[in-house]
Amino acid sequence: MNDVLQDISAAQRIVVKVGTSTLTYETGKMNLKRIDQLARILSDLRNRGKEIILVSSGAIGIAMGKLGLSQKPQETRQKQAVAAVGQCELMYLYDKLFSEYNNTVAQILLTKDDIAIPRRKRNTQNTFATLLEMGIIPVVNENDTVSTDEIEIGDNDTLSAVVADLVDADLLVLFSDIDGLYDSDPRTNPDATLLRIVYDIDKVKHSAGGAGSSRGTGGMITKLAAAEIATSAGIHMVIANGANLNALYELLEGNPIGTLFVSKNFRGENDE
């Protein structure tokens, strides 16, 4: 495990994904303390010379709070409209908070075609590369306003892994409302144990429950799908609890946090 942790501590290009449950309270309103903390920590890492890409959910969740909706919209056209309101609010806040820490953000909204069509993929990669060269922190979400079933990536866990692959990241960190992957569902089994390190995703698939909270989209299934994309692309992935964003520092100091999925490049014969 130590060589993996050492490799992680040296990660230069890092994709951080935060889910709706990390960014909002149970009331549906924005968790400003958390968002401010996120902006401060990512700005600090950027100042250290790390390249940071933030994949942020929350457009629909934040709009629900803003518009006073008690339930997540179900119909596509409603989701699209609500996301248009929320994305604006989300970026307004990120722009304001990152600016306070002297860092610049840029919005990138993606659909499946931006990754599937080679010419569009190249353009997207060029944009990311240029923003990173300029020292800017790209903030990515799915383009929910135009996404329909046919062209949607679907959930931001998958999106973050696709982005990590697209930008050739060294590390992907998914902040969720749970400490990591357990051997059984901790919401129903008090004896469930947190898995610290996973080399073979197939061996832990049975541990993934269903969907996550009522505000977000992902659960463990989408997180394992993300782990599969990231680790096969040679990228380590970590699932950690968004209630402690400072854990990012611990990780970069070589300490284990949450559940670590090891990149395929680090899987030796004796690792199982």
Residues that bind ligand GLU (CB under 6 A): 19-20, 57-61, 141-142, 144, 155-156, 216-218
The distance of closest approach from Cβ of residue 49 to ligand GLU in the complex, given in angstroms and rounded to an integer, is: 29
**Tokens standing for residue 244:** 């402690």
Q: Which is nearer to ligand GLU, 22 or 263 (CB)?
A: 22
62 vs 198, beta carbon nearer ligand GLU: 62
184-189 contact pairs (CB < 8 A, 24+): 185/209
Per the structure block, which two tokens stand in for 46? 């950027």
Q: How far is the CB of 58 from ligand GLU (least distance, A)?
A: 5
Nearer to ligand GLU, 19 or 256 (CB): 19
Q: How far is the CB of 141 from ligand GLU (least distance, A)?
A: 5
Q: Nearer Cβ to ligand GLU, position 53 or 59?
A: 59
Nearer to ligand GLU (CB atom), residue 155 or residue 170: 155
What is the smallest separation between the CB atom of 113 and ligand GLU, expressed in angstroms?
16
CB nearer to ligand GLU: give 156 or 231: 156
Write out the two tokens for 78: 């409603």
For 184, the token pair is 């059984």
Q: How far is the CB of 216 from ligand GLU (least distance, A)?
A: 5
Residue 174, beta-bridge partner list:
17, 239
Q: Name the packing angle between helices 220-232 and 156-166 (round to 10°).
A: 10
Nearer to ligand GLU, 83 or 169 (CB): 83
Kindly report each contact of residues 243-250 with a partner whose C-beta sits within 8 Å and lies 24 or more positions away, as own/partner: 243/22, 243/177, 245/34, 245/37, 245/38, 245/41, 245/175, 246/37, 246/41, 248/16, 248/41, 248/45, 248/173, 249/41
- State the nearest-atom distance from the C-beta of 200 to ligand GLU, in Å: 25
**Shortest distance, position 153 Cβ to ligand GLU, whole Å:** 9
Going by DSSP bridges, is the β-strand pair 51-56/13-18 parallel, antiparallel, or unpaired? Answer: parallel
Residues sharing a CB contact under 8 Å with residue 7, sequence separation 6 or more, in sequence order:
170, 236, 263, 266
| Residue 72 beta carbon to ligand GLU: minimum distance, rounded to whole angstroms | 9
Q: Which is nearer to ligand GLU, 180 or 218 (CB)?
A: 218
